[in-house]
Structure 1
Amino acid sequence: MEDSKENSHNLSGLHVDTKTTNLDQSMNLWEEVRTANLHPSRRSYHSAVIFNEKMIIYGGQDLREGPQSGMWRIEIGQFDQGDWEEVKIQDSSPLCRHSAIVKNDSMYIFGGSDGTQEFNRTIIFNLNNLSARSIVPENSLCPPPLDSHTACLYEDGTVAWMIVFGGYAIGERSSSVYTLNLSSEKWKKAQTSKGPEGRSNHSAVIYKDQMLVFGGTNEEGEKLSDLWRLDLRTYHWEEIKGNGDIPSGRSGHSAVVFKDVMIVFGGMKDITKETNDMYSFNFDTHQWVMFQYEHQIKDPVSNEQLEEFKKSRMSPVKKGDPSPTTKSPVMKKNTTDNISPQKTFTRKNTDGSSPENTSFIPKKKKTLYDGPASPVVGRIRAHPPHPRDGHSAVVSGSIMIVFGGDRHQMPFNDTYVYFLVEHTIKTPVKGN
């Protein structure tokens, strides 16, 4: 009886059984967060940052509906009570596959695509008064139009920089490094030693005076598993030959820094093969550790609860009714039968293959959960994210927050927290 208490919760009057067998230790440290009221629409390849203990997401894409617009935020410390809030901003045009960093009260958005073209503009949002302005490229020292790149904040003690690497530029994948001086707002192309091959949908993090780049997709569409370090004082590249459980090649994954390790979560290993495994990389010892196996995740809401919820939604509801029961429609398989495409989005596929036209069919927005609709609001413990790529991950204190992404071109707008326990993320899982 005691065991059942430890593996279940009573949320919003519903008993949710989360007990599974053979959980590795890390799975118990996940919580799915379900909030009421409005939510961001489903999206992947958006950006996410932390500002004043709030996670802020911007833009993104739904492969069927196209690039998304707008900014949303949620209070990190109030996940149990807080809701998502749509932020009213001046610039609300659709944008995806861009990058974002925060310095002081400013968020810098660089590059990305609106579905028809890539950009090399920098949009600066003041996160206090929500005003926006742009840095217009001036000369050849600026990056070309880019998407699916990375951007990191680096501070050398006197100046803060945005470091941009890789991405998809003018028809091919880039291996160039560009720096934006946040004080002078001037771009410069860095002169580096010979480094990694061009790539897109990789990850990059800053640790001390180094930028570490992992994975991504190369020009041949191969998923990469190499790890490179760029010394930001000398701009010398070095490939790091790690030891231990080196991750398989992947793209569209996330990477964050926690103390002396980099944590890699999820990504796409191959076409229609997303994962939710997790690795840590120790910056000092170069040791890779797999601390969460890949798991296929089932919805924690029972079929009986789902049927009850469906019945509760069958009564007529007027358009615009703010009733919470209208916020989480049951998701169905999409169909393109007998529907004429309304919009063409000329972008790469999420598997990293060559660009080709993808038709988007307008359809009703779907929110909250990419699976059976759930009336549950609150935290569901020991419930990791489904396998995915194109998601975001940020760190606030000792928790990692994961939002969105997609699986088999079906985007999510769900939110998870992972409690960062140093012993767990440095301990390999034993058996699957």
Structure 2
Amino acid sequence: MYSNRSQQQKKEDTFILGSVSPTDSQTQETQYKYLPLVTKAIQGQLDPKWQECKIKGKNLTPRSNCAITIHQNHLYLYGGYQSVDGILKDFYKLNLGAEYFYWQNIKCDYEPGPRCRHTFCAFKDSLYLFGGQTGDSITTNEIFVHDVNLGLWTKLSINDSYPQPLDNYCATIYNDQLIIFGGFYTADTFKHSNDLYSFSFTLNKWVKLNKSKGKQPSPRDGSSIAIHNQILYMFGGKNGDLRYNDLWQFDFSKQEWHFIPVNNLFDIPMSRSGHSLKGYQDELILFGGIHDVTWELDDLYKFQINLLEWKMINKDTSRRKDLEVPSPTKSNRNTHNKRRSIKLPSLLRPLSLRRSPCTSPKKVRSSSQSQHSCFYNNQNGQQSCDYQNNSSSINTTINYVQERIQLQKLKKKAAMLKLFEVEMNKRAVFQDDCNVTEKLKTSIILIGNPKQDLKLTKGALTEFGQQIVSKFLLPLSNGQNTIYGKKPCARDGHAVAIIDDQMVLFGGDRHTMSFNDLYLLNLKQF
């Protein structure tokens, strides 16, 4: 069947994909009334300090507890953990100075194998990988060295100075040494550690630094360390179910630990583990971690070393849903929650809150009585039963409940079908001779420009406590490789590194769901 429309009319109705000029953009914003509302909501939640990197090509497998390091403007990543695939052993690099961000898989004949909760650091033209978990409750104290120029892995020989197999410790670089603290020993002892070691890259030798028995942090894993002006700083961690928010410093010249009393007690971060701590100029930058079971954090703090004060940059928003009125559950139906009870009409109350119009079958005393009987006193004081009224009341109540359930289903179905609808006055724009082409164009418009009433309902939040906003409408920085103002959601087990005036953040997980996103934090905007 051929269309009766002229060729000129077809050309006018053609929908052009690609970059939109300012004039066309203004026209489109006028036609779609929901666009200004979405733009306003996006501007309200933009954070100019953060940028999300757009990955070209195939992205990495989502993971947590991996390790990253930076060498000559390249980001290197090794291993990690994913709930489905287990412990990973892949090795990648990404050029942070390129026009587009691509993950390049590095293949070597000899590789360290699966690793998570390990250390990966750069020194000169070599990358060092130490310790970590290789299997279920199996850890190692091996060190592998990757020559960046030759593209080869080499395993260093283990001597008596090496610490026991260790995982989930924290590490940093100090001059020509690798410094590690804490972690969990699994070889023979199965205990948390508060040992502080240094490893010489040139001598292949470990030295235990905290030999004195003076005051020092309690054993823990999942903490984080950073170095500033010959002083090492350590924050947080956990020992079993107990998490910390204490801050310590270690003086390399005196070989002593000191607890840091904070001046401003109101801005001290919550206790946590699995967070990140990095030194930048005269400050320590703290992000994320996990405070309690299913309570990962997305807050951002800085510790001003000269003032000995914490300052909150971004508060935690991962629990914004808790501010909403909770629906009735087993945990909040009890009276000790002190929620004000609301009396509803009989037929409007939930089925579990209504009084049954008949005696429970389990309470019928005589087998000769019908299990649907309902007794009451008549005018003569004798007991009687009205089966007809009782049956009518039951049927009315059940029918009303069924009608309400059916109505809710219809509303949900209508909302889902609305995703595929286009307003009548705009259907002509997408109509064509081919039905398949029409459906494809409609889908592109709906995905690229989500309707305000479907994607940005007032009070609607994602499971991570953030508003649902389409990525396609977020502004781009430089128009190519980053999404400006997009900040990471709450997480722990992420990996961070510092390059120039930016902190690079990759991966992590929340509620056992891993991420493969990459972010840049501008440290100058503090």
Q: Could you say which TM-score interval applies, normalised by the shorter chain?
A: 0.7 to 0.9
Deviation string, structure 1 residues 251-299 (Cα, Å, up to 9, x no partner): 111111211111001110111100111000112221110001223599x
Q: Does residue 308 of structure 2 align to residue 283 of structure 1?
A: no
1:374 shift after superposition: 6.9
Deviation string, structure 1 residues 340-380 (Cα, Å, up to 9, x no partner): xxxxxxxxxxxxxxxxxxxxxxxxxxxxxxx9997897422
Closer/same/farther in 2, CA of residues 243 and 274 from structure 1, 3 Å limit: same
Whichever structure has more strand as a proportion of its residues is 1
1:148 shift after superposition: 0.2
Indicate the larger mover: 265-274 or 87-96: 87-96
Partner of 1:177: 196
Amino acid at match of 1:189: K
Q: Does residue 217 of structure 2 align to residue 114 of structure 1?
A: no
Amino acid at match of 1:194: K
The count of residues paired between Structure 1 and Structure 2 equals 340
1:307 shift after superposition: 8.2
Partner of 1:225: 245
Q: Of residues 284, 294, 304 in structure 2, which corresponds to 1:262?
A: 284
Closer/same/farther in 2, CA of residues 223 and 22 from structure 1, 3 Å limit: farther
Partner of 1:417: 520
- 1:18 touches 1:382 (CA, 8 Å); kept in 2? no
Q: Does residue 148 of structure 2 align to residue 45 of structure 1?
A: no
Amino acid at match of 1:262: L
Partner of 1:84: 103
Q: Of residues 60, 83, 96 in structure 2, which corresponds to 1:63?
A: 83
1:30 shift after superposition: 1.1
Amino acid at match of 2:514: P
- 1:31 touches 1:418 (CA, 8 Å); kept in 2? yes
Q: Which structure would you say has the larger Rg? A: 2
RMSD: 3.1
d(CA) in 2 for partners of 1:283, 1:127: 35
- 2:245 touches 2:270 (CA, 8 Å); kept in 1? yes
Q: Which has the higher contact order (CA 8 A, sep 6+)?
A: 1
Question: Where does the alignment leave 5 or more consecutive residues of structure 2 unmatched?
Answer: 1-21, 26-34, 321-415, 422-435, 441-467, 474-479
Partner of 1:208: 229
1:398 shift after superposition: 1.3
Partner of 1:101: 121
1:164 shift after superposition: 1.4
Q: What aligned pairs does 1:123-142 form with structure 2 within 5 A after superposition?
A: 123-139=144-160, 141-142=161-162
Partner of 1:196: 217
Partner of 1:249: 271
Q: What aligned pairs does 1:219-368 form with structure 2 within 5 A after superposition?
A: 220-244=240-264, 245-296=267-318
Deviation string, structure 1 residues 302-356 (Cα, Å, up to 9, x no partner): x99x989xx99x99xxxxxxxxxxxxxxxxxxxxxxxxxxxxxxxxxxxxxxxxx
With structure 2 as the length reference, what TM-score do the two structures score? 0.60
1:394 shift after superposition: 1.2
> Secondary structure, in 3 states, of the residue corresponding to 1:97?
coil
> Secondary structure, in 3 states, of the residue corresponding to 1:20?
helix
Q: Does residue 63 of structure 2 align to residue 72 of structure 1?
A: no
Q: Does residue 505 of structure 2 align to residue 399 of structure 1?
A: no
- 2:112 touches 2:144 (CA, 8 Å); kept in 1? no
d(CA) in 2 for partners of 1:221, 1:41: 29
Question: Where does the alignment leave 5 or more consecutive residues of structure 1 unmatched?
Answer: 6-14, 316-370, 426-432
- 2:130 touches 2:144 (CA, 8 Å); kept in 1? yes
d(CA) in 1 for partners of 2:287, 2:481: 23
- 1:31 touches 1:381 (CA, 8 Å); kept in 2? yes
d(CA) in 2 for partners of 1:414, 1:75: 15
d(CA) in 1 for partners of 2:40, 2:496: 26
Deviation string, structure 1 residues 59-109 (Cα, Å, up to 9, x no partner): 11013321111211111122x513111122331511000012211111111
Closer/same/farther in 2, CA of residues 138 and 381 from structure 1, 3 Å limit: same
> Secondary structure, in 3 states, of the residue corresponding to 1:262?
strand
Q: Does residue 492 of structure 2 align to residue 389 of structure 1?
A: yes
Q: Of residues 187, 198, 221 in structure 1, which corresponds to 2:206?
A: 187
d(CA) in 2 for partners of 1:231, 1:24: 41
Amino acid at match of 2:254: T
- 1:95 touches 1:113 (CA, 8 Å); kept in 2? yes
Q: What aligned pairs does 1:151-162 form with structure 2 within 5 A after superposition?
A: 151-155=171-175, 160-162=176-178
d(CA) in 2 for partners of 1:50, 1:197: 31
1:409 shift after superposition: 0.6
1:49 shift after superposition: 0.8
Partner of 2:179: 163
Whichever structure has more helix as a proportion of its residues is 2
d(CA) in 2 for partners of 1:206, 1:119: 26
- 1:391 touches 1:405 (CA, 8 Å); kept in 2? yes
With structure 1 as the length reference, what TM-score do the two structures score? 0.72
- 1:297 touches 1:385 (CA, 8 Å); kept in 2? no
d(CA) in 1 for partners of 2:64, 2:274: 9
1:136 shift after superposition: 3.0
Amino acid at match of 1:213: M
d(CA) in 1 for partners of 2:95, 2:249: 33
